[in-house]
Amino acid sequence: MSRRGEGGVPVPLLVPALLGIAFLVLPLLGLVIRAPWSSIGPQLAQQEVGQALRLSLFSATVATVVSLLLGVPIAWVLARSRIRGRSVLRALVTVPLVLPPVVGGVALFLVIGRQGILGRPLYEHLGVSIPFTTTAVVIAETFVAMPFLVISVEGALRAADARFEDAAATLGADRWTTFRRVTLPLVAPGVAAGAVLCWARALGEFGATITFAGNFPGTTQTMPLAVYLALQRDPEAAIVLSLVLLAVSLGTLLLLRDRWLGRSAVV
Amino acid sequence: MTLAAHVVVQRGALHLDVDLTVADGEVLAVLGPNGAGKSTLLRVLAGLLPPDGGRVALDGDTVWDDGRDHVPAHERSLGMVFQDHLLFPHLSVTENVAFGLRTRGVRRAPARAAAEEWLARVHLAGLGDRRPGELSGGQAQRAALARALVVDPRLLLLDEPLSALDARTRLTVRAELRRHLAEFAGSAVLVSHDPVDAMALADRVVVVEDGRVVQTGTPAEVARRPRTDYVARLVGLVLLPGTGAGTTVRLDGGGVVSVGGEATGPVFVAVRPASVSLYLERPAGSPRNVWPARLAAATPHGSVVRCDLAGEVPLTADVTATSFAELGLVPGAPVWASVKAADVTVYTR
């Protein structure tokens, strides 16, 4: 049988596609179906839930801002500059994409932990200790999430017509002015898409956070950590927390898609 | 305000080595086939591409000298118009035109006022609030011209400014461009592969082939006396090199042509295809230039049929569609080609 479906999708593509969609959507449906809807109100009213949610939103947002401030320049250097060793640089910068987050957490410990290469002088001279603080959460999330932003902004820069930058130069704009007034507005959809990806990744960060920042309610216990912990003592609470996380992620994605990403969305 | 440049660029198969000067108020057209290095030359003049050697000076100020001096594009006093306008899509038309003033420190209000004034000069008054995407091709190119001229640059560079436009728009934009170039006080360099642009807009033409200048002169000189096959084809002539002896020229490719004037030594013979007649039988009577040939190819060309002939003298003949039909010519058919001596131009090589 080689009947084609309504949308003209060939069967060998249609069947795996449907299977794949089911695979991706069913777990989310399961979450919704098994949710203890009657006790959801009291569950959400718990102080720890609010704390974890606020901390998650705050630290993911700060991590995204930091990633924008550092990651967009990295992307520009990778896409536009003519410095040597750019491919090595790109590989290094994107290692956290493939690195298990736990390993990232360990690595952060070795560098800015209290006994770390940078962390020790920081603690001995300034009395600053980073691990197990909210700052540590932001650092862990930035480490894991920034490469997503760098990759998508670099892609947007490469796709943008560099001749607009030539035109700006002939109009008296130096490279910094050109970047601010021409390049950045041209790749704004790509930057927005990268920021959303980065934020979502930071929101879901677990491994590096629990390794480097620990699991202290109020200061370092983000939603994913709370979910994991709750699963061990109170599965119902874990489901509720997961639902909240799902709703926040989905809501943000839909909102940003309509508001900023528009038709040129890359996500 | 003078541009004096010697530009050397070695890039892959392209070896560009061009000398040129453009005087105050002069428009120089750089004419040449695709890949001749015209756009590369323009990018060097703009400061967007560092050349491999040479010197570029504007009004006596060196802006490039073998790597010792290099003034980057944004510090040069220039305006550039690109083939596909390159108006910034995220800015309004007015903001686009004001861009060069804003980067040079002019405040927002006066910059906008100057931009609006220039938009009126290019007949785009009232369209300033639109985005470039909402303009037609001709309007966008006029806005790009305003954007380049609003800063009153010393050097104006035009890179194929009309070739992205459709035939009718091209006509009106060309006329307008001509008017603005006439008013422009600085030096202007126009790059084109369309001889009509060069003839209509330039005071002087430089023909570049394979990275070298092969001919320079006024548009009329170049059109009348082309020195390479490329230029001859552009201006619609057949060019035959030969050696003159009195009123006859012995062609390098073989054959003898009687010409309208006296000629000695190495010369070019130029024949207009319209002055070549075709016959099935050898014509009797006045024409002294009669050669047997075969029809190699025939292509419609406006109201005539352009016939490329193969034979001792490789001519091209334009015959009317009617006579082409009457002759009943097919490719490979033997014909006689003739041209009057008075219709053959001759000039020294």
Percent of chain A with pLDDT over 70: 93
Hey, is the C-beta of A171 within 8 angstroms of any chain B C-beta? yes
Of the listed ranges A45-59, A89-103, A172-186, A246-260, the least confidently predicted one is A246-260
For residues B46 and B71, is the Cβ–Cβ distance under 8 A?
no
Nearest alpha-carbon partner for B345 in B185, B223, B203:
B223
> How high is the pLDDT of residue A265?
40
CA distance A17 to A30: 20
Interface predicted TM-score (ipTM) of this complex, two decimals: 0.81
Pairing of strands B304-311, B316-320: antiparallel
From chain B, pick out residues whose CB is under 8 angstroms from the CB of A182.
88
Chain B residues with CB-CB distance to A166 below 8 A: 43, 46, 48, 73, 86
Inter-chain contact B74–A164, Cβ cutoff 8 Å? no
pLDDT range class, residue A3, cuts 50, 70, 90: low
Residue B216 reports pLDDT greater than 60: yes
The residue of chain B with its CA nearest to that of A161 is B86
Closest by Cβ to B74, choosing from A174, A186, A188: A174
Cβ distance of A181 and B82 shorter than 8 Å: no
Q: Which residue, among B58, B85, B99, would best test binding to A if mutated, counting the most A CBs under 10 Å from its CB?
A: B99
Q: Say if the Cβ atoms of A172 and B104 lie within 8 Å.
A: yes
Size of interface A-B (CB pairs under 8 A): 66
pLDDT tens column, A23-77 = 999 999 988 888 888 888 888 888 888 888 899 999 999 999 999 999 999 999 9
Residues of chain B with pLDDT > 90, as a percent, come to 42
Asked whether B331 and B295 are in contact (CB, 8 A), the reply is yes
Record: contact B100-A185, CB cut-off 8 A: no
Distances (CA, A) of A131 to A75, A111, A137, A170, B79: 28, 11, 8, 50, 56
- B75 to chain A: closest CA residue: A172
In the DSSP assignment, the letter for residue B25 is T
Q: Are B245 and B252 in contact (CB under 8 A)?
A: no
Domains and CATH numbers, chain B: 3-226 (3.40.50.300), 236-348 (2.40.50.100)
- State the burial class of residue A176 (Cβ atoms within 10 Å of its Cβ: 0-12, 13-18, 19+): exposed
- Cβ-based contacts of A159 with chain B (< 8 Å): none
Q: What is the mean pLDDT of residues A138-152?
A: 95
Residues of A in contact with B91 (CB under 8 A): 185
Segments in chain A forming alpha helices (H): 11-34, 40-45, 47-80, 86-98, 101-112, 119-126, 134-159, 163-170, 175-178, 184-186, 188-203, 207-212, 223-233, 235-256
Mean pLDDT in residue range B133-148: 94
Provide CB contacts within 8 A for A98, sequence distance 6+.
none
Q: Which residue has the tokens 């931009």?
A: B115
Give the pLDDT score at A249.
84
Given CB atoms, is A173 within the 8 Å cutoff of chain B? yes
- CA torsion angle B71 B76 B79 B84 (round to 10): 30
Residue of chain B whose alpha carbon sits nearest to that of A188: B90
Report which DSSP code applies to A218: T
Would you list the DSSP string of A31-99? HHHHS-GGGHHHHHHSHHHHHHHHHHHHHHHHHHHHHHHHHHHHHHHHHH---TTHHHHHHHHHHHHHS
**Do residues B269 and B344 make contact, with C-beta atoms less than 8 angstroms apart?**
yes
C-alpha distance from B177 to closest chain A C-alpha (Å): 19
User: From the centroid of its chain, how far is CA A57?
Assistant: 12
A190 vs B contacts (CB less than 8 Å): none
Q: How far is CA A150 from CA A57, A89, A155, A207, in A?
A: 21, 12, 8, 21
Mean pLDDT, all residues of chain A: 88
What pLDDT digit, counting tens, does each position of B98-116 carry? Answer: 999 999 999 999 999 999 9
Instruction: Name the residue among A172, A181, A188 with its Cβ closest to that of B74.
Output: A172
CB contact under 8 A, A173 and B74: yes
Of the partner residues B78, B82, B91, the one whose CB lies closest to the CB of residue A163: B82
What's the rounded Cα separation, in Å, for the pair B229 and B210? 13
In this structure, are residues B77 and B153 in contact, taking their beta carbons and an 8 Å threshold? yes
Interface of B with A (CB under 8 A): 43, 46-48, 72-75, 78-80, 82, 86, 88-91, 99-100, 103-104, 147-148, 151, 157
Residue A80 CB contacts under 8 Å (≥ 6 apart), including other chains: A157, A162
pLDDT for residue A258 is more than 70: no
Bridge partner list, B305: B300, B319
Tell the CATH superfamily of the A40-94+146-206+214-264 domain.
MetI-like (1.10.3720.10)
Rounded CA-CA distance B121/B150 in Å is 10
Task: Note every long-range contact of A118-123, with CB atoms under 8 Å and residues 24 or more positions apart, other chains counting.
Answer: none
Nearest CA distance, A171 vs chain B (angstrom): 5
What is the per-residue pLDDT for B90?
A: 94
Residue with tokens 């009106």: B172
What angle in degrees, to the nearest 10, is found between the helix axes of A86-98 and A134-159? 130
Smallest CA-to-CA distance from B47 within B77, B68, B88 is with B77
pLDDT higher than threshold 80 for residue B144: yes
Instruction: Check CB contact under 8 Å for B79 and A170.
Output: yes
CA distances from A93 to A84, A151, A194, B67, B100 (A): 15, 9, 15, 34, 36
> Residue A261: is its pLDDT beyond 60?
no
What residue ranges do the domains of chain A occupy? 40-94+146-206+214-264
Arithmetic mean of pLDDT, A81-102: 90
